[in-house]
A = this chain, B = another copy of it.
């Protein structure tokens, strides 16, 4: 596999994977770049080009075998295994994240939940027992956790990110409405639904 696939290509692969899983659930066994493109609003040429980075998953005219392409994409994205994820923040937002079933269903297992509030530590959110943030570095290092989600107030998010990075975390999903500064080898993605709403209001008349 080539060592350097453009980031924009990688960012589209999970979207293809999700569409393939959907097609599979609907009982399809074969698809085409045309059908995928129609579902996703992406040109079929773009899809073929993106997938060509990883070798020949299918031929024009014969289509893609969904089960095969899906497994290949899962391997490329390294989601054929289950990942442990740490969650920091057990307030309203963190609790909602902890309760969201979509993570475990798709291979991301919340392994531990941390909070700094003495009132929260020791309590539970569903099956998760809330641990003190003081224990975060040792627990993350022991378990070899590389992925974390931040669901603390904006003013504490950078400090939490620094602690996570210090403990060896390399991928952060940040729910706090603030941009984070992290070293180059750490990846950050953001979830802020209000940003998405504000992107759309511009177009409303």
Q: What's the least CB distance linking A15 to chain B, in Å?
A: 7
CA distance A41 to B187 in the complex (A): 13
B193 and A191 contact, CB distance less than 8 A: yes
B residues less than 8 Å from A192 (CB atoms): 18, 102
Residue of B at shortest CB range from A39?
A: B179
CB contact under 8 A between A10 and B199, given known A93-B100, A102-B177, A103-B193: yes
Instruction: Indicate how many identical chains form the complex.
Output: 2
Q: Which residues of chain A from 91 to 141 have any CB-CB distance to chain B below 8 Å in the complex? A: 92-93, 96-97, 99-103, 106, 108
A83 and B197 contact, CB distance less than 8 A: yes
Q: Which of B40, B76, B146, B201 contacts A202 (CB 8 A)?
A: B76
* Chain A count of residues within 8 A CB distance of the other chain: 57
CA distance A152 to B85 in the complex (A): 25
Asked whether A45 is an interface residue with its Cβ less than 8 Å from the other chain, the reply is no
B195 and A83 contact, CB distance less than 8 A: no
B residues less than 8 Å from A189 (CB atoms): 196-197, 199-200
A178 and B18 contact, CB distance less than 8 A: yes
A147 and B106 contact, CB distance less than 8 A: no
CA distance A181 to B100 in the complex (A): 25
Asked whether A30 is an interface residue with its Cβ less than 8 Å from the other chain, the reply is no
B residues less than 8 Å from A96 (CB atoms): 96, 99-100
Q: What's the least CB distance linking A120 to chain B, in Å?
A: 17
Q: Which of B147, B193, B197 contacts A204 (CB 8 A)?
A: B147
Q: What's the least CB distance linking A115 to chain B, in Å?
A: 17
Asked whether A19 is an interface residue with its Cβ less than 8 Å from the other chain, the reply is yes
B residues less than 8 Å from A48 (CB atoms): none
CA distance A78 to B199 in the complex (A): 10
17 contacts between A and B (CB under 8 A): A11-B199, A13-B199, A15-B179, A17-B198, A18-B192, A18-B195, A77-B201, A83-B197, A83-B201, A92-B99, A92-B100, A92-B101, A102-B177, A103-B193, A147-B200, A173-B196, A191-B196
